[in-house]
Amino acid sequence: MTLAVRAGLIIAALVALSACAGRDEPELQYVEQPVEMLYNEGFRYLERREFDRAAAFFDEVERQHPFSEWARRSMLMAAFANYQANKYDEAISDAERFIALHPGNASAPYAYYLIALSHYERIYDVGRDQSTTRNALDALQQVVRRFPDTPYAQDARIKIEMTQDHLAGKEMDVGRWYMRNGYYLAAINRYQNVLRDYPRTSHVPEALHRLVESYVALGIDTEARQVASVLGYNFPGSDWYQDSYDLLTSRGIAMDGEGLAEEQPTLLERALDRIFG
């Protein structure tokens, strides 16, 4: 029997089994095929970008030859094929199973990385629930923590910054909504979350300015002046500082940097510690 015929029989069996799902018919029994043939066929489908078929063949390697070296390889190949097919739950499941069965394998770093990618690819816009974003951040941080010197960790660090920026953007989005509706204390909490949890993101200058706006709206001039001083010290040329300066001067609140010049903070975190305790 030729290789092509054997492959065709396996595909037909898989299709037939899928058609029987949900019916009370006996499960089809596959005819065992050589492990190399199954793996190579899966790889060929992978090269053709037929990811669903590739994953099916790699799964079949593991099912028919569970104790072979090929089965271990196929587990990760199936995870990769599912990732490429945008089947992220299946990819995560395959990779987690690989880690559970082969935690010390040389390919374990890639399995962790593939899990992180599968979460990362599903990050939604800031207007939606961010549980997926937090899952991605946790998975990416795990890659960096476990395998800090690998290329996977290098890429994970970049994606961590982007993920944190995304989460900070969500906090800003909610804070702006609170401000528009007059809930200034709730808005302040959101902006402080950005400064405390995501101090290296692109949203920090705006968060500082929005704090100034919120404090001014509440009539808390001292805090407004202090936050504006932090903004001016760390982002002196930004439009956000100019907006804060214009707001305070229009309200007759002096911009004298009270108390800040004495300490000469070199990091934003030191200044924020002084203000928020």
Choice between 195 and 125, residue whose per-residue pLDDT is larger: 195
Residue 183: the pLDDT is 96
User: Which pLDDT belongs to residue 43?
Assistant: 86
The tens digit of pLDDT for each residue in 182-208 reads 999 999 999 999 999 999 999 999 999
pLDDT band at 252 (very low <50, low <70, confident <90, very high): confident
The Cα–Cα gap between 229 and 211 comes to 12
Q: How far apart are CA 265 and CA 132, in angstroms?
A: 36
Residues of the chain above pLDDT 90, percent: 55
> Mean pLDDT across the stretch 25-29?
41
Q: Give me the residue spans of the domains in the chain.
A: 1-88
Mean pLDDT across the chain: 82
Please tell me the predicted confidence (pLDDT) of residue 273: 59
CB atoms within 10 A of CB 149: 8
Q: What is the pLDDT of residues 36-55, one digit of tens each?
A: 777 788 888 888 899 998 99
Check: CB of residue 236 under 8 Å from CB of residue 269: no
On the question of pLDDT at 153 being above 70, the answer is: yes
Contacts of 120 (CB under 8 A, 6+ apart): 136, 139, 140, 159, 163
What pLDDT does residue 125 have?
60
pTM for the predicted model, two decimal places: 0.72
Q: Which residue has the higher pLDDT, 163 or 270?
A: 163
Confidence of residue 269 (pLDDT cuts 50, 70, 90): low
